[in-house]
A and B are shown apart, each in its own frame.
Chain A
Amino acid sequence: MMQFEFGKLTVQQAVSGLRCGAFSSVALTRALLDAMAARNGAVNAFVWVDEADALQQAAAADAARKTGHTGALLGVPLAIKDVLNVDGQPCTCGSKILKGYTSLYDATAIARLRAAGALFVGRTNMDEFAMGSTTENSAYGPTRNPVSPAHVAGGSSGGSAAAVAGGMALAALGSDTGGSIRQPASFCGCVGLKPSYGRVSRYGLVAYASSLDQIGPITHTVADAALLLGVMAGRDPMDATTLDRPVPDYGAALTGDLKGMRLGLPREYFVEGMHPEVTTAVQGAIARCCELGAEIVEVSLPHTKYAVATYYILAAAEASANLARFDGVRYGFRAAVDGSPIEMYMQTRAQGFGREVQRRIILGTYVLSSGYYDAYYLRAQKVRTLIRRDFDEAFSRCDALLTPVAPTPAYRLGETMDDPLHMYLGDIFTVTANLAGICGLSVPCGKTAAGLPVGLQVLGPAFGEERVIRVGNAYERDRDRSGL
């Protein structure tokens, strides 16, 4: 029996290995469980693993294969961000307020992966209710960057990114509302894809900001991200915001070439104040794309400077509404209060929610409150229109955009905790895609001298995932060939 470095296996390699009988799903799952047991203590990527259940799922997949069952992901174990409902598994959203909650149904994205034969073998840590950019806002401890334990894994899908980058998962699911897939992927050195709004159903994703949230894959390769996206994407009757657009064969975009593509560089994303090693890595990646045959054009997204403000107004407002349901009545934590229901809600939420969540709920309630709604929320929605128009204009002149993912590599643990605004400003390059509803991909493009990964962001127009997949894949293959 060959020894496989299971932690470095891609999903594609796992699928073919399982198909040709090189190894069983049980062996693969066992290897990942062993990796988790060895490494999760230091990293805290996973908040829940049930070894017996995982192996049972794997055994069932092996048995199904023997009786002739097939499936694009049959027997492939996946790690799931603790914000997605998987029937029978806990779902805490990184919060004390949902401690002990058991999911009653599969999210649609999960159901589709399950139908393709995938296994759900662990739940990953996250910033509480997806609010944060470091996975330090979890009630279950921070997640450390597997590349450097003194640094964060990014957020809010830090656990998922750390699981993949740390060799404890072949692939994981995350969610992205303002960059929460792309940024941790960038900080940890793996691939992260945020689909266009309406591409993947949000049914079963615990909502943070309903007009901004999307579920997406975090993987070792762009090809793996394309594979998982293809399984999850498509209209869902349970999510009225999904569009009735056909799901293309994303694999067909893995051409490996960029000839004839016009790639735009938005000048507002290449400014003073960026970490010099991020600039170097990203410029290097742009240069390689050039050498691969792409034409580079300069574009402008003039309303970029208002994006963080717009995002935090809209996201906080939507979050304040979405989190109103956590009141101790029907599920989760309930404070022991000998008083009225209102006192019960007040104490339950005060004790059950962490600082960052409380901060955003208050900010969101404020911007929606009487006297302030027009000045903040309504205005922010109008600025959102301008931001979307900026992208429409830019995409009329190029096929995709290349930008950094974040102005810096991973922060040190604790660095941003006392200064929430400082942390928010780090989201400048990622929130725009959520506001405009377009798609974005983060692909590793280098490391700092200290060894911290840097990601290249590829942005594509709404429902233009094939473009970002093509660009990311071509760059990644060339990067690997040159041994970068």
Chain B
Amino acid sequence: MSVANATTPEINVAYVANLARLELDAASCALFQRQIGTIVDYVRQIGELDLEGIEPTSHGQPVYNVFREDVERTGLDHARVLANAPAQLNDEFKVPRIVE
């Protein structure tokens, strides 16, 4: 898909926000529609480049197969972890009902 030549399709901000689990009110949606549209228009210029045969780089200094011995280590103290929790019960994180 050549991005540089196509006009930027209207980003469906509400749809993307839903993917990102972010509730946006109408005003924020409109603001982001405009601002992110401008930003995407700008970043589309990378479509100009001929990238045939270029490998992607995901890290500046790649390392491979960084393993450690499969040895048990002590984890975090549960009490301290749960002290940060918004809601807890019986040594577990309490959340809204997931399954009806």
Binding site for B on A (CB under 8 A): 100-102, 104-105, 196-198, 211-212, 237, 240-241, 243, 303, 305-306, 308-310, 312-313, 320, 324, 327-334, 337, 339-347, 349-350, 353, 355, 358-359, 361-363, 365-367, 369, 371, 374-376, 378-386, 388, 420-421, 424, 434-438, 462-463
Contact = CB atoms under 8 A, between A and B. Distances in A.
A449 B35 CA distance: 34
Contacts of A313: 43, 46
B26 interface: no
Given A329-B93, A350-B23, A362 B85 contact: no
A438 B60 contact: yes
B55 A339 contact: no
B40 A363 contact: yes
B76 interface: yes
Nearest to A381: B56
B61 A312 contact: no
A344 B46 contact: no
B66 interface: yes
Given A101-B84, A104-B76, A383-B46, A347 B58 contact: no
A362 B16 contact: yes
B22 interface: yes
B56 A385 contact: yes
B16 A369 contact: yes
Contacts of A341: 95-98
B7 to A, nearest CB: 13
A378 B54 CA distance: 11
Interface in B10-53: 11, 13, 16-24, 28, 32, 35-36, 38-40, 42-47, 49, 51
Contacts of A420: 35, 39
Contacts of B77: 104
Contact of B93 (A212, A330, A384): A330
Q: Which of B45, B57, B87: most chain A Cβ within 10 A?
A: B57
Contact of A362 (B22, B38, B54): B22
Q: Determine chain B's interface SS by DSSP, over half rule.
A: loop
Interface residues of B, number: 54
Contact of A462 (B17, B23, B61): B61
Contacts, number: 185
A344 B1 CA distance: 36
Interface of B: 1-3, 11, 13, 16-24, 28, 32, 35-36, 38-40, 42-47, 49, 51, 54-61, 63, 66, 68, 76-77, 80-81, 83-87, 93, 95-98
Contacts of B23: 343, 346-347, 349-350
A347 to B, nearest CB: 6
B96 A337 contact: yes
Nearest to B76: A104
B60 A197 contact: yes
A310 B47 CA distance: 11
A366 B16 contact: yes
Contacts of A342: 21
Contacts of B95: 329, 341, 344
Contacts of A435: 60
Given A333-B86, A375-B1, A463-B61, 18 more contacts: A104-B81, A197-B59, A312-B39, A331-B86, A332-B84, A341-B97, A349-B20, A358-B22, A358-B28, A359-B35, A359-B36, A367-B43, A369-B19, A376-B3, A376-B46, A379-B49, A436-B60, A462-B60
B73 to A, nearest CB: 10
A405 B93 CA distance: 45
A369 B20 CA distance: 10
A308 B44 CA distance: 11
Contact of B32 (A196, A362, A462): A362
A366 B40 contact: yes
Contacts of B44: 309
Contact of A385 (B17, B28, B54, B66): B54
Nearest to A102: B84
B96 A340 contact: yes
A80 B76 CA distance: 23
B80 A386 contact: no
A381 B55 CA distance: 8
Contacts of B11: 366
